Chain A
Amino acid sequence: MVETESLSFRFPESLDTILKDVSLSIKPGRTILTGASGSGKSTLLALLNRLYPENCDGILEGRLELLGRSHDDYAPGEINQRVGTVFQDPDTQFVMERVEEELVFTLENLQTPVEVIDQRVTEILESLQLTDYRNRHIDSLSGGEKQRIAVACAMVGQPEWLLLDEPLTHLDPVTANRFVDWLDHLDNVNVIVVEHRAHLWGDFFVFFFELDQGRIVRNEPFQAVDDFTFNPSPAPRQAVEHYVVDEVERDSFRLKGVTLKARIGEVIAILGPNGSGKSMFLRSLTESDRRVGLVPQSPEHLFFMNSVEQELQFGHEESIDVVLYELTLEDKRVLHPLSLSHGQKRRLAVGIQLLSNKQLLAFDEPTAGQDEPSLHALEILMKRHAAKGQTILFVTHDLSFANIAHTFYLMKDGELSGPFGDELWGDTERLRHYRLAGGRQRCHSMI
């Protein structure tokens, strides 16, 4: 599909080259692209579907050939009729208001005959088990739900190639598993996936590329890898604080009100399926209680200053150097927060709240889109703040990272249950009920 030769790329307003001397050839089949956060993966994908360089007036050097033609041979939107894309950010990748309209819009673009449009929409929703969402307003969906809809939109046009930018980050473990299986059963589409957590894909891939600071450092056949490992935090103190979470109702969805009892220095994980109300719970928890700080699922929502530095320094006098260093943001000090890569944005949001000195720090999916070093940095920071006497509460779909917690709560249909200790992991019935396990395990010896 792609042939590049000593490709380099930079944005017009900065001198940093984002991609340097990239020569690669991506063949039909299944390719994984990994690399540290900020290494240029999303930028490379944007070159592959031709959004860049034209749309950002980026400066491109070298040869870039897509589907047999030079990239500048295509009109805007032309190649996208053969290449479907799922962007990294589930929040801002939709054009229309409702799910059905979005799918129809895509098919109209591809000049699909009107007679088959309805059928195609029905089919794709059925095959991804999304039929119930057909008439939903996209803005009212949860993060994971949006991500699944985005996949449907990319696939409904039956593209030859599919570009997925970290498509599993907001999916619960069972849904993620099912998705990989689903993709595995399609045989007429070639995929390029950007992914930090390769182990979730078993032996799905054939080709493997790794980017490091804009350079291709590995280009080899793919080999299945193991999960990362994390260790539990030390036991918390006994003093208990009470947090009241009010009931919330949105159309047919109802979040039950509860009182959360959290010990000082406790690290709590909230787990549960997509759309079960976790984000709503955190929001309700924060809304009325001044002692709580929150990193929302969409970290951009927290930003309101003009640079990373100002953002971190807002409202206090403490030094920000340590946090900058530990979150590997020190060379991004003067950048505008919204121009960071996704992982960087999330880390910045985490940094902001860590400096806020709240009694309880709540994080909505802080692990989404993070590479291994960042996850470990996050682990260390969380543990340190717990040791200092703050309470840490986080929502995640990453079950290995969840290991750092000593207390677990489970959420389903707006109802919180818990607390549970480590015994949770032996209770297969419960894990299955909360969609944390029980999706068919991917077998590692399929090819």
Chain B
Amino acid sequence: MSLHDMNPTIKFGTMTIIMFGLALFYNPWTPLVIIVGTLTIQLLATDVSWKKWSLFLIPFLVTALGTFWTTLVFGKELGGETWVTLLGQDISKEEARIAMSLSLRVLAFTVLSLLFMLTTDSKRFVMSLMQQARLSPTIAYSALVGFRFLPLMQREMYQLQYAHRLRGVPLDTKWERIRHVPKLLLPLLAGSIRRAERVAFSMEARGFTSGKRTVYERIDIKPSDYMWSGIFFILFGLSIWIGI
């Protein structure tokens, strides 16, 4: 019943609807309730590593702060009585409320999508899109091949470095290696393009066509998927109600 097992397409749909819904509300409470609710769910129903989570969060915390102060400074004058004065600008309570709401919204987006990202396996997501959202198998399998290139390119990078050293390029200290990285990027990309072609040939040689195929690993929709979806929508409803 953990959120990790939820059908990825349904999970994705749910998150998407909530996020676009969120954009309609300009009060600080709605995003705040979503943030608290999502974190509670994350705590109770997932085994996401909080360390990893924090690492991903940091850059977006910065964005949230940035959004806060730029809305204050560059925001349109809304009038109203001055609440505080910052950098020579008069800021009204209403303006501060908007700034607060916009930056909390950024955080709510972040928290929701980190929940999705950290509880969803890319491969399962693509497979589920193919089975539930009628994504074309050609795109689905090409995307899987693409994912496989991430670790592969990392290895190719070491391989290239090794080859260059075999060929006499001095690469002994860390600094020499770092400085040499730009020279590796083009061959790396070129190599990946070639490899992509070979893999496409292999797919075809294994009888891959754009037509019918059977599906060995089914990713089904279970009753618990509706339940999870329901929980998120209840949370969203609650947040709207509190906001108003």
Contacts and interface: CB of A to CB of B under 8 A. Distances in A.
Let me know if chains A and B touch directly in the complex, using CB atoms closer than 8 Å. yes
Interface string A43-76: 0000001010001000000000000000000011
A80 B155 CA distance: 31
B166 A293 contact: yes
Interface string B67-93: 000000000000000000000000000
Counting chain A CB atoms within 10 Å of each CB, the highest count among B152, B159, B167 belongs to B167
B195 A49 contact: no
Interface residues of B, number: 38
Nearest to B184: A304
Nearest to A338: B194
Interface string B153-172: 00100011011101110000
A87 B214 contact: no
Contacts of B148: 96-97
Contact of A114 (B195, B198, B216): B216
Contacts of B162: 287, 301
Nearest to B168: A315
B214 A111 contact: yes
Contact of A85 (B160, B195, B205, B212): B205
B198 A110 contact: no
Contact of A92 (B164, B166, B202): B202
A80 B204 contact: yes
Given A76-B209, A77-B209, A95 B163 contact: no
Contact of A93 (B187, B198, B211, B217): B198
A76 B201 CA distance: 10
A340 B202 CA distance: 19
**In which size bucket is the chain A interface?**
35 or more
Given A95-B145, A302-B166, A304-B164, A108 B202 contact: no
Interface string A93-108: 1111100000011111
B208 interface: yes
Contacts of A80: 204-208
Contacts, number: 110
Given A80-B207, A93-B198, A304 B144 contact: no
B184 to A, nearest CB: 9
Contacts of A303: 163
B158 to A, nearest CB: 11
Interface string B133-145: 0000000010011
B212 A77 contact: no
B208 A77 contact: yes
A93 B202 contact: yes
Nearest to B142: A95
A307 interface: no
Nearest to A157: B207
Contacts of A286: 166
A78 B195 contact: no
A260 interface: no
18 contacts: A49-B205, A55-B204, A75-B209, A77-B207, A78-B209, A80-B208, A95-B141, A95-B202, A95-B203, A97-B148, A106-B206, A111-B213, A114-B218, A157-B207, A286-B166, A293-B166, A301-B162, A314-B167
Interface of A: 49, 51, 55, 75-78, 80-81, 84-85, 87, 89, 92-97, 104-114, 117, 139, 153, 157, 286-287, 293-294, 301-304, 314-315, 338, 352, 356
Interface of B: 141, 144-145, 148, 152, 155, 159-160, 162-164, 166-168, 187, 194-195, 198-218
Given A51-B204, A107-B216, 5 more contacts: A55-B200, A87-B205, A92-B195, A114-B214, A286-B166
